[in-house]
Structure 1
Amino acid sequence: MAKRPAAAPQTTAQRLDSIVKSARQIMRKDKGLNGDLDRLPLLTWVLFLKFLDDMERIHEDEAVLAGKPFHAAIDPPYRWRDWAARRDGITGPDLIRFLAAEETIRPDGSKGPGLFAYLRSLRGRDGVRDRRDVIATVFAEMTNRMESGYLLRDVVNLVDAIHFDASEEIHTLSRLYEGLLREMRDAAGDSGEFYTPRAVVRFMVAVTNPRLGEVVLDPACGTGGFLAEAFEHLSAQVRTTEDREVLQDRSLVGGEAKRLPFLLAQMNLLLHGLEAPDIALGNTLSRQRLTQIGERDRVNVILTNPPFGGEEEVGIQANFPDDRRTNETAMLFLQLIMRRLKRHGQGRAAVIVPNGTLFEGGVAARVKADLLREFNLHTVLRLPEGVFAPYTDIPTNVIFFDTSGPTQAISYWQQPAPEGRRKYSKTAPLQFEDLADCLAWWGARGEDPRAWTVPAEGLIRTDAEGRVLAVNLDLKNPNAVEAEDHRTPAEIVSGMVAREAQVLDLLREIEALVAERA
């Protein structure tokens, strides 16, 4: 009888994917976990602690070789190697108590705080922010929903087989992790908060081209995609030890309102190599009044996809000027971004906005007038339908501006739909290579049927007293040949409703002006 051929050895990617799938399968057996919104965060913090311990080992070895002192972020018996690395280690109810209790018997037999309580108490040494502060913030409100300590031990044993001291394994897991982030967003279904496709993130970072020594901010960083891509972009510029210190200590800043994306962002950035991510937990819009933002708060580069469609409370709106207040989250973020950029040509931004932002009136029109008058809105990238599938089919745009303003002219690029298809989709997403022509056009701005330039003069419509009535940036490509309309009836109706809303906004503006003059 012929011998069955030996199975091919698993690649790193296949092995890691197998580990994660097995861990998720185990978690499905636990009665305390209800769906991926419970399972994925648990898997994330388990991976987080294993990763930290492996990084600590590497740093300790480096310190020994360099003859320098080493200060661990996590002390015994709370390190992964102390309680998790032994396959026959603490398990069952003892493991659950060790994680969650304020005070318990620790794996070494001594009495002390439980793991989460200890991690929450960590503080940076000598008042200097370091990885201990990051850990404390991550675990500030962390809870363990898993009821079976035996099943949890099985998950821990699986994760212990991942070795983050191997560069290939770190790189592979970071890509696998991005898949988990997308799943998390799908499971959460947060309105207006969409996972930004990696192709769009890469393009925005490439054309804004952050330089080492500049500060990059994402004020609504979600799971950290823009900051992770910016870190990789800046890493390629590191040549010396001093360069590395600049990259690690004062290059990337973020803010995130929700705790779960905040945790995921920390893990994402740690996986990419940022040792102590500087991400503030809380709504960036609520931190200070717009008028209180000064030079020390300003940064060189802002890259972001702010949430839109949300409604901010009155207390947050109070941080904005009276005639610029709105409950629309995206419009408030746009004002914040404009204020946070360094002046005199030293600041630049790339911001994703929904189509409505380009043509909406009212407060939106006044903010866009500010943008044209005080900043150089040099480029609008018009993305086709489906780029943000499955979250929304709403067409989106990326606006690029800097502080060398005011705007003289705006260049537009209409990214076409994929060849042979009406739109992009979840199963056939936009790829970075699809934007190659736009990237090639970017520098020279030569003739191209997908590009056109519009003078800024005349875009702001005002009344006799100079009050802004409308600013329409929703401009169509004059080079485009009218194509057959393939929209569904529902899509056509949706477009008509959007246009009707625009007309109603203008009518309200006129009505208000008439009432003022009466």
Structure 2
Amino acid sequence: MKVVNLQSRIDRITDILRRDDGISGAMHYTEQISWILFLKYLHDYEETKASDALIDGKQYKYIIDTKFRWDNWAYPLKEDGMYDLKGAMGGDDLIQFVNNELFPYLQSFKSNPQEVKTVKYKIGAVFEFINNRIASGHTLREVIENIADLSFQSQEDLFELSIIYENLLKGMGSDGGNSGEFYTPRPVIKAMVDVLEPNVNDTIYDGAVGSAGFLIQAFDYVIQKKNEYSTTQLKHIKEGMFFGNEKTPLAYVMGVMNMILHGIESPNIYKQNTLTQNIRDFQEKDRYSVILANPPFGGKEKKEVQNNFPVESSATELLFLQHFMKKLALNGKAGIVIPEGVLFQANNAFTAVKKDLLDNFNLHTVLSLPMGIFLPYSPVKTSILFFERKGGTQDVWYYEINLEKKLTKNKPIQYEHIADFVELYKTRATTENSWLVTADEIRKRNYDLSGKNPTKQKEIIHQSPNEILADIQSNDKNINLLLAEIDNLIQKGYER
């Protein structure tokens, strides 16, 4: 099924859900489509595993018991392979089964901590924080019937599904409000991954996962060379490469499901507030070689949380920056989105953290993003810090993205807007949009990291006192002439 046809099918399902009394807004219908799609995907996943095992002369052990499999409760088939409409549950019976039996059963999968690396455990983690909101069994039956013939058994099918799921998550972001936490513009994420160039030996971390866009883009980047990897390396990619935390329950669920739907079978994503970890306790074994993140900013944290950081502050952006600095492994590299205010804030806390960043890390690049990049849910201007845990900073390469037209909700950032930055990143070339500033110069400015493009600074003409006086007198003379002319016109008007 082509992406466009799959998209039209999802649009139809969305319209069906909008009519249900239990659904309100993009967040709800995306959540509900997600768990139903996820269970259909799991059914196809298990059927594929069973077929592969049969070919090898083995027997596959199903994760989900017969009673709770898709082809039993959701879309039962007759002996001839046709849909058993009469035998399918509907109405109140279907809703009661889903709410009182299916969901508790799936939630129980997280009960065994010994299975934390398994797909089964991840299924339990997903359903721990999600509930069925569909009030009508007839609505649920109609949605199931629209999803039932979708197949997710090939890599092409899975790729198409992942594109549609990304569009659903993007729609949640466009819905405004707090749903912006789920979605970072993919061109920005792709550019950050492209310049950091993660490889198969890395461990990659995002302490504010959201819908897991950074981790998925990094996975897509690494998996391009899958034919070159050993079995051990492929296992590392699917089980031991990607890590993260997410505080919000729904964002956590979306992130885990998104990663599984993209082919990362056992993502190491945890439902917790990253900032509750005391960064003084981190050891080298707790650190990661690549960190990519767009953490929440503009929030405030309580004193108990602030105590986890050497430099206390209520600003979440400053706490997250300290966290990522401490989580970065020796010789590791990071790309972190920050509100631009971090660059020039001059109070003691901000100055102390920037001093640490400049003195103990190699802050080699600052990318200034254009206004409106996170519309419609945030108008804040942002920048991206690229740094390594390797020595100190010698100089900082600044790049400023300048667009001819303003970004809007309907005209978002595109990859071509960032392509020049990606191309110049390694060479650190000086252009009309990029320039170098030494670390010593930044220290003289009391660690003000805001970069002013030297090619756009207006030339200041210094005049002598006599020249300034002559200009004033000349202006006064011109003003007096204009006043006399206006007075003359007024007098002529009176005479008439």
- Bin for the TM-score computed over the shorter chain: 0.7 to 0.9
Partner of 1:162: 150
Partner of 1:337: 324
Structure 2 residue matching 1:279: 3-state secondary structure: strand
Partner of 1:312: 301
Partner of 2:188: 200
Partner of 1:357: 342
Q: 1:222 aligns with which of 189, 193, 210?
A: 210
Q: CA deviation at 1:388?
A: 1.7
The answer to whether the Cα contact below 8 Å between 1:223 and 1:265 also exists between their aligned partners in 2 is yes
Report 1:227-246 matches (<5 A).
Answer: 227-238=215-226, 239=228, 240-246=230-236
Partner of 1:505: none
Distance 1:447 1:406 in 2: 22
Are 1:279 and 2:264 matched, yes or no?
A: no
Distance 2:155 2:94 in 1: 31
Task: Show structure 1 runs of 5+ residues with no match.
Answer: 1-10, 102-113, 463-469, 484-518
The 1:384/1:435 distance shift into structure 2, 3 A limit, reads same
Partner of 1:71: 61
Query: In the comparison of the two structures, how many residue pairs are matched?
Result: 446
Are 1:95 and 2:94 matched, yes or no?
A: yes
Greater fraction of residues in helix: 2
Partner of 1:108: none
Q: CA deviation at 1:75?
A: 1.8
Q: Structure 1 segments of 4 or more deviating over 4 A?
A: 123-128
39-48 vs 301-310, greater mean Cα deviation: 39-48
The 1:68/1:206 distance shift into structure 2, 3 A limit, reads farther
Q: CA deviation at 1:482?
A: 5.4
The 1:457/1:435 distance shift into structure 2, 3 A limit, reads same
Are 1:371 and 2:357 matched, yes or no?
A: yes
Are 1:117 and 2:104 matched, yes or no?
A: yes
Q: CA deviation at 1:448?
A: 1.6
Are 1:41 and 2:31 matched, yes or no?
A: yes
The answer to whether the Cα contact below 8 Å between 2:306 and 2:312 also exists between their aligned partners in 1 is yes
The answer to whether the Cα contact below 8 Å between 1:193 and 1:308 also exists between their aligned partners in 2 is no
Distance 1:30 1:296 in 2: 49
Distance 1:407 1:312 in 2: 30
Distance 2:317 2:218 in 1: 22
Are 1:348 and 2:333 matched, yes or no?
A: yes
The 1:125/1:326 distance shift into structure 2, 3 A limit, reads closer
Distance 1:188 1:121 in 2: 34
The answer to whether the Cα contact below 8 Å between 1:192 and 1:310 also exists between their aligned partners in 2 is no
Q: CA deviation at 1:300?
A: 0.2
CA deviation vs aligned residue, 1:67-115 (integer Å, no higher than 9, x gap)? 44533221211111221123521111111111111xxxxxxxxxxxx01
Report 1:6-45 matches (<5 A).
Answer: 12-45=2-35
Are 1:294 and 2:283 matched, yes or no?
A: yes
Q: CA deviation at 1:292?
A: 0.5
Structure 1 residue matching 2:337: 3-state secondary structure: strand
Q: CA deviation at 1:331?
A: 0.7
Distance 2:181 2:144 in 1: 31
The answer to whether the Cα contact below 8 Å between 2:367 and 2:383 also exists between their aligned partners in 1 is yes
The answer to whether the Cα contact below 8 Å between 1:36 and 1:187 also exists between their aligned partners in 2 is yes
The answer to whether the Cα contact below 8 Å between 2:340 and 2:382 also exists between their aligned partners in 1 is yes
Task: State the one-letter code of the partner of 2:434.
Answer: A
Task: State the one-letter code of the partner of 2:14.
Answer: R
User: In angstroms, what is the RMSD of aligned CA positions?
Assistant: 2.0
Structure 1 residue matching 2:288: 3-state secondary structure: coil
Partner of 1:416: 402
Q: CA deviation at 1:243?
A: 2.2
Partner of 1:472: 448
Give the TM-score normalised by the residue count of structure 2: 0.86
State the structure with more CA Rg: 2
Task: Show structure 2 runs of 5+ residues with no match.
Answer: 77-82, 460-496
Q: Percent identity?
A: 37
Q: CA deviation at 1:128?
A: 5.2
Partner of 1:136: 124
Partner of 1:457: 440
Task: State the one-letter code of the partner of 1:354.
Answer: P
62-71 vs 295-304, greater mean Cα deviation: 62-71
